[in-house]
Structure 1
Amino acid sequence: MSPFTGEAAGVRPPEPVLRAQVRLETAEATQAWAGRLAQLLRGGDVLILTGELGSGKTTFTQGLGAGLQVREGIISPTFVLSRIHPTVRAAQDPRAVDLVHVDAYRLGSAGELLDLDLDATVDRSVTVVEWGRGMAEELAGWPEDPEASWLDIELVRAVGAAPGAVPAEGEGASSGIITDFSEDEDGTDEIRSAVLTAYGPRWAGVELP
């Protein structure tokens, strides 16, 4: 099942080129995986990040920022809608890109998202849009651009799952899913997974970490 939903749902959703699930046992594991994913990213990449309050979206983005080597201090952009975290790599480094972190929770349309002037930075930055399904796809160029590519990442865990269990593909934020980074009664982190769906030729054939 495609996770694609939202305003653009009236247009036939694109077919994913890649699906993957990654088990994330702790917040530290989430940051480490995001850091490895960052090594695959380049300017122009758009990541749509989904997960309920406390699911680890900011934790993920902090790991991504560390992997991209941007300036420290990544926090939720909820009250300012978007933040730019500049790279600390040398200017001559061809892999040096800024990180743009956006919270679209309070936005009602793709037009409102584009009104943030993200198109001015998207080509030279990695852009992470929380709560961006149905909106941020247009930031990546879909549906006008047949080469439009983006990653959809959802952080989830299953209620009552056996130790080590990973949610089934497509479960997402459906009923019965809790996505906070609280600890079990025995003091250990509960198992989460990142459900990743990739769209567009940019990600065709790419091996994920």
Structure 2
Amino acid sequence: MSRSYTLDLPDADATRAFGTALSAVLRAGDLVVLTGDLGAGKTTLTQGIGAGLGVRGQVASPTFIIAREHPPLTPGPGLVHVDAYRLGSLDEVDALDLDSSLEDVVTVVEWGEGLVEQLADDRLEVRLERPHGGFTATSDLGDDEEPGTEDGAGAEVGVRHATVTAVGERWDDVALPGEPPDPAS
């Protein structure tokens, strides 16, 4: 069973703030799968999750190292941040051995759609959509970097739309940030 809702994220700060709010309902063992074009805000959202979890280290796109672990600085779970952009098969995902630490941390996988769903029956899927056009070459927006860049080139200005889908029983009774109230209750 699953449920979905969409919310607007007007800028990078709102995207980070949503990630921070989302971290409040996350616990060890949770899997978050992020989908969206380059510059959609996947890493920015993960930065908010990391800040909310109180993890060590700068949360940056792990494009070339594939996965980065951020241990907790406070009581609570750490964060494993995965960028599956360069992975092309389930065998490559299995080689990361993510399921060995899944129960102890919050695992966030960028570009994971179609690759990591088998890791957990219960997961959050977040699809980030950005407007097209209006490119800026500044990095102060804090958005995702294109693979191979360090300056954030390709980040775009405009309201992003996040569609959050809660999959599995784990999320049945969890009120998610930005989710409209259930009219049946």
**TM-score of the superposed pair, with normalisation by structure 2:** 0.80
- Report the equivalent of 2:23: 38
> Could you tell me how far 1:159 is from its partner in structure 2?
5.1
Q: Quick one: structure 1 residues 27 and 120, their matched pair in 2 at CA, closer, same or farther if it must change by over 3 Å? A: same
Per-residue CA distance 1:118-145 (angstroms, 9 max, x = gap):
11110000001111111111111xxxxx
Give the residue type in structure 2 aligned to 1:52: D
Structure 1 unaligned spans of 5+:
1-14, 141-147, 161-179, 184-189
Give the residue type in structure 1 aligned to 2:109: V
**TM-score of the superposed pair, with normalisation by structure 1:** 0.71
> Could you tell me how far 1:45 is from its partner in structure 2?
0.3
- Report the equivalent of 1:195: 163
Give the residue type in structure 2 aligned to 1:81: I
User: Pairwise mapping of residues 29-178 of structure 1 onto structure 2 (< 5 A)?
Assistant: 29-89=14-74, 93=75, 96-140=76-120, 148-158=121-131
Percent identity over the alignment is 48
> Could you tell me how far 1:157 is from its partner in structure 2?
3.0
SS across alignment from 1:23: strand
User: Alpha carbon RMSD of aligned pairs, Å?
Assistant: 1.5
Partner Cα distance (2:159, 2:85) in 1: 25
Structure 2 unaligned spans of 5+:
134-153, 178-185
> Could you tell me how far 1:204 is from its partner in structure 2?
1.2
SS across alignment from 2:103: helix
Per-residue CA distance 1:189-209 (angstroms, 9 max, x = gap):
x11111111110001132111
